[in-house]
């Protein structure tokens, strides 16, 4: 990241009107001005998380590794679901990457304002910086796993193709869904602390209604319904990019996922902006 | 006249207090909805009148507050606790929204409602410096440029790569304030933050802040209970009471009115739970009050009368080499003297666990008639602060009935001691 000019320079006519119910005219510009804070908060969360853990950043890898083994066992060995031409663990891992990205971002965003309550009540910054920094942390975690999974995948004989270059597209898709859902949960958690208890449930359910441990084409009767889950398209996309296997992308499903994801993000931003002005009063 | 830096027009802030106000759980919200429905039904059928407005109550923390702050002006905001000072600062800092009115702010604002906001104990001094700077709105380049200066100001060079959780409370506060003091906003909003740190560092901060306003022409809005600091820093003061502006004008005059209005805690201050500096766990200060020689609490004495300053505190772990005492200042902040129990040889040593009561007899015929503030103060000299009062009790020394020094000509000087004279005609 390039160091930016001091704030004063890019804001010559620096006038602010403070008024009840005033939609901030410079909302997005303001958010951009605070992008360094976003980065510092993410950095803080990463450093602090591993500072007192003996295994340190190892946890970023152990968690998905264990989940991969578990899901491979349950779906691949017990339920004997077909894996197509990719090894079952790789199938699971490719699905787990976006799922972990989503669930970490969602979880982190949900608690981001509560855990920064001190800041919210004492300092002004665009409130969206907090959930966004949770997103950055999740992204970094995924990058670590992705990097470490590469040699394992090669060992399983999974060789990347040109499709790998389309992966960022699906990462962005995953972030859109995560941010949309994250903004909802963030705003709701500030208002109703109940959502701290609801979040784990939602994630547990999500793990099963998202085709992480199985392939969606194995359960055709549910396929239409599952396609309404915007993560379905993302997971399929990840598999399509990472495993040179026989994952088939269905355009209609992608459009559905994209559309629902965009709707989620749009409504999330709307609800967040509607409620954020009162955060300091209720937090 | 140029446009003011801050224009505040008819600002009001309403908080709703009571159960149905901010449902903190989903259940409350559902129950609230249900109640609303039921009472609506009740109203329809003519039963249960008044159930709708049941348990809520409006509280106006601020109402009709209007004033301008000119560029380069340093304005002190005074008033007792709950007068709305902090709410006003929060609105100005865009942390919360006003309910009514509007504010126009011209210039980059930095607000400092607390020292060390966002400091994380697990991070090192260096890491916290960057984080806190970013939180306060500095860019990374700006922090890097001022890094050495900040570190030198805070006097923490050696501990930069130590986790902040190992810092003493003094170091913590010094680092935190140093960052804040190096902000370069056009408008600086400061709340009570000078009440921390040891006395030398406080002076340094006051000096730095004075430079900010006088030499660099910045606008400062400053809240404090510390009349001395307000008097030293601010040319103008705005006095808030019950969310309204009660006085606005020259600091000296507004402060005098404020102090004589009875709005300030006179003669006595209590902290039933005990207070101490951050991180101090072996000492709690309990109360300070002034009494006459018979032990009756009072806030006014004749200028020639002796009076007693009574200090109560609790020691939680044996405490060595501490001194407990008080500072006496004029209302414009000039320190007249300070006094500590360490002047008594037997107090100097180990203090036992338990509650303590100190009485100090202050001789009459020593100070000028007028209003004074007495601040409790306790520390382990050169090591750490134990407690430093943000606000002082007010004392009035009345010259009317004294038998000396009160002739038609006001005598000069900070003190007015009654001295011994002998006279001979050799």
Under the banding of pLDDT at 50, 70 and 90, the label for residue B35 is low
- Report CA B407 to chain centroid distance, whole Å: 37
pLDDT over 90 at B285, yes or no: yes
Chain A residues touching B118 at Cβ < 8 A: 116, 118-119, 123
CA-based angle B306:B310:B316, to the nearest 5?
Answer: 155
> Quick one: pLDDT band at residue B46, thresholds 50, 70, 90?
very low
> Which residues of chain B does A16 touch, with a Cβ-Cβ cutoff of 8 Å?
94, 104-105, 109
CB A194 to CB B27 under 8 A? Answer: yes
* Bridge partners of residue B118, in order along the sequence: none
Domains and CATH numbers, chain B: 64-260 (3.40.50.300), 268-398 (2.70.50.60)
| Cα dihedral value A110, A115, A118, A122, nearest 10 | -30
- Which run of H or E residues covers position A69? helix A59-71
Q: From the centroid of its chain, how far is CA B271?
A: 15
Tokens (6 digits) for B138? 């500095």
Q: Do A123 and B102 touch (CB under 8 A)?
A: no
Determine contact: B117 vs chain A, CB below 8 A: yes
pLDDT at A220 over 80: no
Tell which B residues from 170 to 199 touch A, by Cβ distance under 8 Å: 184, 186
Q: Please state, for a pLDDT cut of 70, what percent of chain B lies above it.
A: 79
The rounded distance, in Å, linking the Cα atoms of B179 and B131 is 10
Instruction: Give pLDDT tens digits for B260-279.
Output: 775 555 678 888 888 888 88
In three-state secondary structure terms, B229 is helix
Question: Closest Cα partner for B380 from B294, B307, B282?
Answer: B282
B165 touches chain A (CB under 8 A): no
Question: Do the beta carbons of residue A238 and residue A167 sit within 8 Å?
Answer: yes
Closest CA of chain A from B271, distance in Å:
24
Asked if A16's CB is within 8 angstroms of B142's CB, the reply is: no
pLDDT, residue B7, reads 92
| Chain A residues touching residue B93 (CB < 8 angstroms) | 123-124
Task: Specify the pLDDT at position B57.
Answer: 72
Q: What's the rounded Cα separation, in Å, for the pair A166 and A241?
A: 7
Which of the two residues, A84 and B27, has the higher pLDDT score?
Answer: A84
Tell me the CA distances in angstroms from B383 to A222, B151, B320, B376, one per residue in order: 71, 20, 11, 18
A12 to chain B: closest CA residue: B107
Contacts of A14 in chain B (CB under 8 A): 106-108, 186
Distances (CA, A) of A247 to A83, A218, A229, A237, B244: 10, 11, 18, 9, 69
d(CA A24, CA A273): 9
Within 8 A of A276 by CB-CB distance, chain B residues are none
Rounded-to-integer distance, Cα B274 and Cα B272, Å: 5
Taking the C-alpha atoms of residue A57 and residue A60, their distance in angstroms, rounded to an integer, is 6
CB contact under 8 A, A18 and B92: yes
B51-73 tens-digit pLDDT: 344 456 788 889 999 999 998 88
Q: Which residues contact B140 (CB under 8 A, 6 or more apart)?
A: A3, A4, A36, B130, B133, B134
When the pLDDT of each residue in chain A is averaged and rounded to a whole number, the result is 83
The residues pairing with B385 across neighbouring beta strands, listed in sequence order, are: B379
pLDDT at A64 over 80: yes
- Helix and strand totals (H; E) in chain A: 12, 1
- pLDDT at res. B3: 81
Q: Which residues in B lie closer than 8 A to residue A4 (C-beta atoms)? A: 139-141
- Tell whether the model's pLDDT for residue A164 goes beyond 70: yes
DSSP alpha helix (H) spans, B121-194: 125-135, 140-154, 169-181
Q: What is the pLDDT of residues A172-207, one digit of tens each?
A: 999 999 999 999 998 888 888 788 888 888 998 998
Q: Measured between beta carbons, which residues in chain B are less than 8 angstroms from residue A25?
A: none
Give the global pTM: 0.71
The Cβ of residue B230 has, within 10 Å, a number of other Cβ atoms equal to 26
Instruction: With H, G, I as helix, E, B as strand and everything else as coil, classify residue B395.
Output: strand
- Cβ of A124 under 8 Å from any chain B Cβ? yes
Q: What is the C-alpha separation between B25 and B18, in angstroms, rounded?
A: 14
pLDDT above 80 (res B49): no
Q: How far away is chain A from the Cα of B165, in angstroms, using its nearest Cα?
A: 12
The residue among B19, B25, B15, B29 whose CA lies nearest residue B97 is B15
Taking an 8 Å cut-off on Cβ atoms, the answer to whether B97 and A21 are in contact is: yes
Is residue A15 within 8 angstroms of chain B, CB to CB?
yes
- Give residue for tokens 């209604």: A209
Residue B223 to residues A23, B107, B190, Cα–Cα distance (Å): 29, 20, 6
Q: Does B32 touch chain A (CB under 8 A)?
A: no
What's the distance, Cα to Cα, between the start and end of chain A in Å? Answer: 32
Query: To the nearest whole number, what is the mean pLDDT of chain B?
Result: 80
- Select the residue of A6, A16, A119 nearest B117 (Cβ to Cβ): A119
């Amino acid at each position: 990241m390039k160091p930016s000019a001091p704030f004063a320079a890019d804001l010559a006519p620096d006038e602010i009107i403070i008024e009840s119910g005033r939609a901030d005219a410079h909302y997005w510009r303001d958010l951009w001005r605070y992008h360094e804070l976003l980065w510092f908060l993410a950095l803080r969360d990463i450093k602090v998380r591993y500072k007192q853990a003996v295994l340190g950043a190892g946890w970023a890898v152990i968690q998905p590794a264990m989940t991969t083994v578990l899901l491979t066992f349950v779906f691949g060995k017990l339920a004997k679901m077909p894996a197509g031409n990719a090894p079952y663990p790789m199938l699971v891992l490719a699905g787990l990457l976006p799922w972990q990205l989503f669930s970490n971002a969602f979880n982190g965003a949900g608690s981001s304002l509560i855990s920064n309550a001190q800041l919210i009540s004492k300092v002004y910054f665009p409130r969206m910086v907090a959930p966004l920094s949770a997103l950055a942390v999740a992204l970094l975690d995924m990058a670590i796993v992705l990097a470490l999974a590469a040699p394992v995948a090669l060992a399983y004989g999974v060789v990347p193709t040109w499709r790998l270059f389309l992966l960022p597209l699906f990462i962005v898709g995953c972030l859109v869904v995560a941010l949309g859902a994250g903004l909802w949960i963030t705003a709701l958690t500030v208002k109703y602390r109940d959502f701290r208890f609801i979040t784990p449930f939602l994630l547990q359910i999500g793990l099963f209604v998202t085709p992480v441990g199985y392939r969606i084409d194995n359960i055709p009767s549910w396929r239409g319904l599952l396609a309404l889950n915007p993560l379905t398209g993302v997971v399929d996309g990840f598999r399509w990019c990472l495993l040179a296997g026989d994952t088939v992308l269905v355009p209609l499903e992608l459009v559905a996922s994209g559309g629902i994801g965009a709707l989620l993000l749009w409504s999330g931003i709307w609800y967040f902006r509607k409620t954020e002005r009162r955060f300091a009063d209720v937090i | 006249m140029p446009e003011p830096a801050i224009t505040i027009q008819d600002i009001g802030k309403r908080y709703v207090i009571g159960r149905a106000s901010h449902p903190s759980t989903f259940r409350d919200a559902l129950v609230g909805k249900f109640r609303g429905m039921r009472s609506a039904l009740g109203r329809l059928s003519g039963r249960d009148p008044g159930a709708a407005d049941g348990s809520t109550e409006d509280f106006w923390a601020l109402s009709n507050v209007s004033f301008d702050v000119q560029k380069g002006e340093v304005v002190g905001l005074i008033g007792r606790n709950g007068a709305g000072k902090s709410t006003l600062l929060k609105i100005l800092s865009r942390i919360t929204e006003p309910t009514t009115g509007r504010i126009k702010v011209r210039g980059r604002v930095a607000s400092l409602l607390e020292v060390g906001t966002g400091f994380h104990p697990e991070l090192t001094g260096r890491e916290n410096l960057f984080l806190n700077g970013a939180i306060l709105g500095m860019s990374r380049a700006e922090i890097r440029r001022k890094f050495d200066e900040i570190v030198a100001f805070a006097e923490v060079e050696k501990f930069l790569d130590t986790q902040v959780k190992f810092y003493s409370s003094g170091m913590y506060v010094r680092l935190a304030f140093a960052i804040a003091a190096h902000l370069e906003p056009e408008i600086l909003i400061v709340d009570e933050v000078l009440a921390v740190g040891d006395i030398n560092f406080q002076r340094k901060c006051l000096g730095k802040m004075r430079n900010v306003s006088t030499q660099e022409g910045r606008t400062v809005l400053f809240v404090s209970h510390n009349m001395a600091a307000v008097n030293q820093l601010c040319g103008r003061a705005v006095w808030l009471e019950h969310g309204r502006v009660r006085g606005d004008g020259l600091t000296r005059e507004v402060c005098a009115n404020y102090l004589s209005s009875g709005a300030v805690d006179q003669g006595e201050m209590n902290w039933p739970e005990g207070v101490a500096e951050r991180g101090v766990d072996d000492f709690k200060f309990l109360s300070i009050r002034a009494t006459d020689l018979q032990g009756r609490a009072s806030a006014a004495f004749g200028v020639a009368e002796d009076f007693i300053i009574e200090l109560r505190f609790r020691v939680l772990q044996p405490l060595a080499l501490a001194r407990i005492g008080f500072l006496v200042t004029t209302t414009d902040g000039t320190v007249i003297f300070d006094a500590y129990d360490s002047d008594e040889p037997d107090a100097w040593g180990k203090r036992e666990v338990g509650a303590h009561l100190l009485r100090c007899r202050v001789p009459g015929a020593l100070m000028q008639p007028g209003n004074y503030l007495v601040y409790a103060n306790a520390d382990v000299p050169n090591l750490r602060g134990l407690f430093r009062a943000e606000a002082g009790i007010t004392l009035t020394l009345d010259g009317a009935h004294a038998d000396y020094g009160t002739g038609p000509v006001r005598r000069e000087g900070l003190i007015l001691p009654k001295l011994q004279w002998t006279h001979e005609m050799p």
